[in-house]
Structure 1
Amino acid sequence: MENDDLIAILEGVENVEQFIAISDEDSDLSDFEDPTTEESQNISAGEYSFQWSSEAFEIKNEPFDDFFSGISPSMISSVSSELDIFLHYCNEAYVEKIVEFTNSYQQYVVRHIDIKLHSRLKNWYPVTVPEMYTFFAVCMLMTRNSRNTIEEHWSTNPYLHSGIYGSLMSRNRFCTILGMLHFCQPGPRTEEETILSKIIYPVNHARQTFKNSFIPYEKICIDESIVPFKGRLLIKQYLPKKRNRFGIELFVLCDVLSGIILDFIVYCGKDTELTHFDNLGASGSVVATLLEEYYGVNRKLYIDNWYSSPKLSIFLKQRSIHTCGTVKPNRSEMPKFKNLKKGDREALYSDPIMAMKWRDKKNIHMLTTIHKDEMGPTEKMDLMTGLPKLKPECIIDYNKNMGAVDACDMMLSGLQCIRKTIKWYKKLFFHILDLHLLNSYHIFKITCKDDFSPSFRKYQLVLIEQLVQKYGEQSVHKTLPSTSRALEQPTRFLPGDGARHMPSYVPKQKKLRCKLCARSKKRRTTRYMCAVCTVALCVIPCFQLYHKKK
């Protein structure tokens, strides 16, 4: 396709009637189908006519030039460390904005909610940028040390004790920051705001950063991903084929060669941010929106049967995007195929599309503008003949390149920072933080000059160390010992350990409630504490009783 023709196509779009979506049996996206409430302007994808025949045509696909593909030149150098690359995605300006929202939300809560007498918010002080980075490091570290509850990471029980958490941040401080974590200006939602407004700043920052950091190679794919969430939520989806079946659905665009995530769209029903194309339906509009910045360079796109349709293939072909994917046989404009026996295939053509039906264990329908009707060898061997099994080349190519998004989910499954919370937007934020971590890992692998390529787990551990080294010392804030009913120091009963448990003054000349007196419902304060147990106690008789009687 000539450049003048491409420009004419891109400039020739017109505004037409309201958007009408195509329903799908695999995913509950019925909220897309509401033309009466849709306010965004639709774009015509053009009218297409299809005349299917068994006569093959010559496929003419222009070659792809990968000269400009790869890491953005202004983004990173070949000597960048793990922390430098991660800070490109989560820069200090971005974290500073989150810190501002978090501190504002704490002030809003204090003004509008009655705080309990012994609430952790009584000891709140404003969060800083170094402290927020330390908070992120602790969240990442928790994925490598699984516990039943958050509090157990700070346990003094010898079987659970891990001193690193207490040295980075106190338990109460971590839980308070997690509870006050916020990503927008606090207050009731207005009519103009959508359900995504609570998390819109991290979402928009991530999408823009992903686009600016990497230019994809020839092959890209689009697939669904899901952020697990089983709470009450209007946009919660059910995807039976995913490992986490309930949650927040994302439409993800991924580069096949590098595994880098290029863009994503959060499904929000009728409020989903899409450029609606009149003849493509909901699924086609998702694809067209994700690919808006990648037209005109002859890339190859791999999609599954929720997106594929003859109209979408023509629409993308006119914009120099070649497609390959499975397709539902009942899609509009799809041809009618014959009944086939196992191993048989049938191909029908409507320039520039080839539609194929191949009978294996079940019927498989493919739609492609890349391949011919040819068979190719696979890696599996036929036990009867000893020769490689044969499959259509379009299916072999599809199986090879379609799994990039699932591979990202698999890599994150064992190291994701998602915390158990009733706030859905916090889960989505931590998933976005995981995506930043994963993309920075892929970038780091590309920038490595030698053959050394660390594993994702090793990269995450090194990043945690570098975050602590740079921001850990800046975020240290001395806190008073806790008088809550936390897990107690079991070594206080050991005969040889008594020499370490001696009375000392409470820091800053403060007074705290005696722990034993509080158990007896006596209101008594003291200036003394056990420095080892970090428990406030009356010198006489509570100090002796606490260390001798269980």
Structure 2
Amino acid sequence: MIRSVRHTPQQELELLCDINEMESEGEQCEVSDGDDESECGSEFNLNLESDSGSESDSEIECAGDSFQEARDGTVWAEQTAGNPRGRARESDIMRETPGPTCYAKDNITSPLSSLLCLIDTEMWGKIRKYTQAEADRNYADKFKLTADKLKAFVGLLYLRGITGGKSMNLDEHWSTDLGNPIFKQTMSLQKFRDIMRYLRFDDKNTMAARLVTDKFAMISEIFDKFVKNSIASYTPGENITVDEQLFPTKLRCPFTQYMANKPDKFGIKFWVAADVKTKYMLNAIPYLGKDDSSPAGQRLSDNIVMRLMEPFLGEGRNVTTGNFFTSLALANNLLADKTTIVGTMDKNRRELPPCTQAQSERFSTKVLRAGKVTLTIYQAKPKRNVCILSTMHQTVSTDNGAKKLPETLSHYNSTKAGVDDMDNMVRLYSVNGGKCRWPVAVFYNLLDLAVINAHVLYKQCMNVTISRRKFILELVKELCAHHKMARATGAIARKRLLPETPSPPAKRRQCQIGRCSGNKTCDICQTCKRLVCGKCSKNAPKLCSEC
């Protein structure tokens, strides 16, 4: 009598192979699972006939010795390349409609209103407050910064970037011969320099205590608010790219990075998530060096991707990553939150099987599977293969072209450049220019990212087609308009209070131009009618340096 024994599907498969060998020699074997009517492999056959949409390991098509074990113990099973099968998984179904949110649609009517969705009134107020406080600490009694003047200052920064003048000396922008007249019409060169000198983004009285725990404290309040507004204003599409951005600067900073593969080599690094289709900046985290607060045992790259993707998890999206970020643990963590990943991996990673080190025929594809994760090994060159990890593709097919590209690699190539394209757009019209403090460099990057996002929001909310250059020019006009009007009104009012042809004073009096060392003069500025010494004036007719 044969004793009944229960077996797993894998054990049944091994027994079937043994039975086939024994039957070829004229022997017989019976395997029972507790039912008298069952025969050899009955339980295994049941599993094969189960729903094709299930994600059990029985879906993997294996042939011969097709299992490989990685150094960390992960078992990979070779899978036959073929067309996708079964129903779409929950993690592959997009549940949100991409585009501007209701908050953005309700508020955007012009280029300026689209920028104000990202850099809101509260942020403008805080920057004005902290800048004015810094001027007061330096006894600049005549320095008065209004919100309109601050917006005009930002407008001139955008104008400098779009005219390609970031490498020009500031004096040239205000020059009658070389400069754009909008600069002189908006504010004087001295006022622009004063704002640049006192520009601050944090309360200096409490900064020292916060710098102990936050290296980014000098601008973190403003930057975090901008990122929060960017997330609240736009719903991304189904594909997101995570990568790094290096904003070029050589200023003294505790977390300046050197990256040999970047054009500018030195700068402040940001981890960025961007929408693949629109290049909208979705989320950003500055790299501040070693982070002791990160979870123990978790790789830095895994932690960064999970933090960047946190607002967008659970909605059936896919994230594309590079060698630095992609890992098996990250893929499983994202899949648990209904988010898939497609990314390249280094061949020497511990979770990859030994066959990644072997070379195959050129343009050949090998597919392996571990649980719900698919690994594609594509021989791109005679001595170089590419490893693509994916939880988006249950099976992998190849195209009919000469290179026989697998669909995982095709998808990666079409979605990998979201952050790189965004960075190239930043560099084209960047406001980056002369600066002496690293928080100003971060503020420049914030302005560059804000105008890209504002352009995307404006086009989709207003349903118009407008180039980014024209959008920025319209934005500059709106940013400068209120201050130019106030400045003109103030000049007219001052002119009415003074006689038409003021007579020179009977005796020399002190110069009335700000920042003067106290020189005495009899000359009067022809525009503002204030006393002006030779040091503070320009060529005849007599004009003060502020006019």
Q: Please tell me whether residue 283 in structure 1 is matched to residue 301 in structure 2.
A: yes
Q: Please tell me whether residue 370 in structure 1 is matched to residue 392 in structure 2.
A: yes
Q: Please tell me whether residue 241 in structure 1 is matched to residue 261 in structure 2.
A: yes
Structure 2 matches for 1:376-387, cutoff 5 A?
Answer: 376=399
Separation in 1 of the partners of 2:126 and 2:518?
A: 44
Find the partner of 2:323 among 305, 320, 324: 305
Q: Please tell me whether residue 527 in structure 1 is matched to residue 523 in structure 2.
A: yes
Q: Is the 8 A contact 1:168 1:472 kept in 2?
A: yes
Q: Is the 8 A contact 1:280 1:311 kept in 2?
A: no
1:39-75 deviation digits (Å, cap 9, x = unpaired): xxxxxxxxx9621121459685334234443221133
Alpha carbons of structure 1 residues 349 and 365: separation in structure 2 relative to 1, 3 Å: same
Separation in 2 of the partners of 1:212 and 1:415?
A: 25
Alpha carbons of structure 1 residues 545 and 224: separation in structure 2 relative to 1, 3 Å: closer
Q: Please tell me whether residue 148 in structure 1 is matched to residue 177 in structure 2.
A: no
Separation in 2 of the partners of 1:125 and 1:297?
A: 50
Alpha carbons of structure 1 residues 396 and 506: separation in structure 2 relative to 1, 3 Å: farther
1:293-321 deviation digits (Å, cap 9, x = unpaired): 22222211100010001111111111111
Unaligned runs of 5+ in 1: 1-47, 111-120, 378-386, 480-502
Alpha carbons of structure 1 residues 535 and 339: separation in structure 2 relative to 1, 3 Å: farther
TM-score where L is the length of structure 1: 0.73
Q: Is the 8 A contact 1:66 1:218 kept in 2?
A: no
Find the partner of 2:416 among 376, 386, 402: 402
Moved over 4 A (4+): 56-60, 475-479, 503-507, 509-515, 521-524, 529-538, 542-547
User: Which residue identity does 1:391 align to in structure 2?
Assistant: L
Aligned CA-pair RMSD: 3.5
CA drift of 1:77 comes to 3.8
CA drift of 1:106 comes to 1.5
Q: Is the 8 A contact 2:512 2:530 kept in 1?
A: no
Q: Is the 8 A contact 1:153 1:162 kept in 2?
A: yes
Separation in 2 of the partners of 1:301 and 1:336?
A: 26
Separation in 2 of the partners of 1:546 and 1:220?
A: 59
Q: Please tell me whether residue 354 in structure 1 is matched to residue 378 in structure 2.
A: no
State the SS of the aligned residue for 2:242: strand
Q: Please tell me whether residue 165 in structure 1 is matched to residue 183 in structure 2.
A: yes
Alpha carbons of structure 1 residues 353 and 125: separation in structure 2 relative to 1, 3 Å: same
Separation in 2 of the partners of 1:543 and 1:373?
A: 75
Deviates more, 1:463-472 or 1:82-91: 463-472
Separation in 1 of the partners of 2:99 and 2:532?
A: 59
1:209-245 deviation digits (Å, cap 9, x = unpaired): 0111112221111010111111222211122222222
Aligned counterpart, 1:217: 237
Aligned counterpart, 1:189: 208
Structure 2 matches for 1:247-326, cutoff 5 A?
Answer: 247-271=267-291, 276-326=294-344
1:363-404 deviation digits (Å, cap 9, x = unpaired): 211111123332125xxxxxxxxx664312111111111111
TM-score where L is the length of structure 2: 0.73
1:480-520 deviation digits (Å, cap 9, x = unpaired): xxxxxxxxxxxxxxxxxxxxxxx97689x9956699xx9xx
State the SS of the aligned residue for 1:426: helix
Aligned counterpart, 1:29: none
Q: Please tell me whether residue 93 in structure 1 is matched to residue 122 in structure 2.
A: yes
User: Which residue identity does 2:137 align to in structure 1?
Assistant: Y
Find the partner of 2:346 among 313, 316, 328: 328
CA drift of 1:340 comes to 2.1
State the SS of the aligned residue for 1:155: coil
Q: Is the 8 A contact 1:64 1:297 kept in 2?
A: yes
Max Rg structure: 2
Find the partner of 1:462 among 466, 471, 474: 474
1:5-45 deviation digits (Å, cap 9, x = unpaired): xxxxxxxxxxxxxxxxxxxxxxxxxxxxxxxxxxxxxxxxx
User: Which residue identity does 2:524 align to in structure 1?
Assistant: Y
User: Which residue identity does 2:102 align to in structure 1?
Assistant: P
1:171-216 deviation digits (Å, cap 9, x = unpaired): 0000000110000112462263422000111111111101111122
Aligned counterpart, 2:223: 203
Separation in 2 of the partners of 1:140 and 1:313?
A: 40
Identity of aligned residues (%): 22
Alpha carbons of structure 1 residues 533 and 222: separation in structure 2 relative to 1, 3 Å: farther
Alpha carbons of structure 1 residues 79 and 304: separation in structure 2 relative to 1, 3 Å: closer
CA drift of 1:546 comes to 10
CA drift of 1:350 comes to 0.6
State the SS of the aligned residue for 1:347: strand
Q: Is the 8 A contact 1:304 1:327 kept in 2?
A: yes
Q: Is the 8 A contact 1:222 1:302 kept in 2?
A: yes
Q: Is the 8 A contact 1:506 1:536 kept in 2?
A: no
Alpha carbons of structure 1 residues 108 and 439: separation in structure 2 relative to 1, 3 Å: same
CA drift of 1:250 comes to 0.5
Q: Is the 8 A contact 2:244 2:272 kept in 1?
A: yes
Separation in 1 of the partners of 2:432 and 2:110?
A: 25
CA drift of 1:327 comes to 0.7
1:234-263 deviation digits (Å, cap 9, x = unpaired): 211122222222111101111122321111
Unaligned runs of 5+ in 2: 1-71, 492-500
User: Which residue identity does 2:480 align to in structure 1?
Assistant: V
Q: Is the 8 A contact 2:161 2:429 kept in 1?
A: yes
User: Which residue identity does 1:350 align to in structure 2?
Assistant: A
Find the partner of 1:424 among 418, 422, 438: 438
CA drift of 1:461 comes to 0.5
Alpha carbons of structure 1 residues 94 and 342: separation in structure 2 relative to 1, 3 Å: same
User: Which residue identity does 2:454 align to in structure 1?
Assistant: S
Separation in 1 of the partners of 2:136 and 2:410?
A: 57
